Amino acid sequence: MVHIVFICTGNICRSPMAEGLLRARWKECGYDGLIVSSMGIHGLDHQEASSLAREICSEHTIDISSHRSRRLDLSELESSDLVLSMEKIHREFLKLFFPRLDDKSSLLGAWPDESGRKSDIRDPMGKSKKVYLQVFNIISGHIDRIIPAIRELYF
């Protein structure tokens, strides 16, 4: 089983959306063998995904209603195959506090080739539904873009 972890700040907006999107799209493609999870660098444990994140996902037939936020779990991060962060600051945090993860850590917006594309995905927390939808669409585009790379590199 290949394990991919998404990282954001609180694990209630972006990373749960990314987790739900990858899980749903992977299944839609008829693939198996993938574990997807998410965590936050400053999150509180056991918080629901934000109401707008749940709403936007639900409108796109993705159910994240059972999501509960989690803080970083070093053992899970170390056993994962790929750690994808939403912003450069998240990746820098991982590099600073968990340098052993550097070889499997990247930005969702830049992976797999660390190209010059805009890589930070802004935090929609406290913003309008329109902003959440924009962020969802950005994450969705990245998920669609990385699925072939995951298949090629890990399967």
- Annotation marks residue 123 as catalytic: yes
Domain 2-154 fold = Rossmann fold (3.40.50)
Of 116-120, 140-144, 150-154, the one with minimum mean pLDDT is 116-120
Active-site annotation holder among 13, 14, 70, 91: 14
Q: Is the pLDDT of residue 118 over 90?
A: no
Residue 92 CB neighbour total at 10 angstroms? 11
Nearest to 37 by CA among 69, 68, 4: 4
- The alpha carbon of 91 is separated from its chain's Cα centroid by a whole number of angstroms, namely 12
Return the domain boundaries, the chain: 2-154
Active-site annotation holder among 68, 81, 123, 145: 123
- pLDDT at position 104: 96
- Annotation marks residue 14 as catalytic: yes
Please give the full DSSP string across 18-74, using - where no structure is assigned.
HHHHHHHHHHHTT---EEEEEEESSPPTTPBPPHHHHHHHHHTT---TT-B--B--H
Q: Which pLDDT band holds residue 113 (cuts at 50, 70, 90)?
A: confident
Contacts of 128 (CB under 8 A, 6+ apart): none
Active-site annotation holder among 8, 23, 54, 70: 8
pLDDT 10s digits, 29-50: 999 999 999 999 997 899 999 9
- Annotation marks residue 23 as catalytic: no
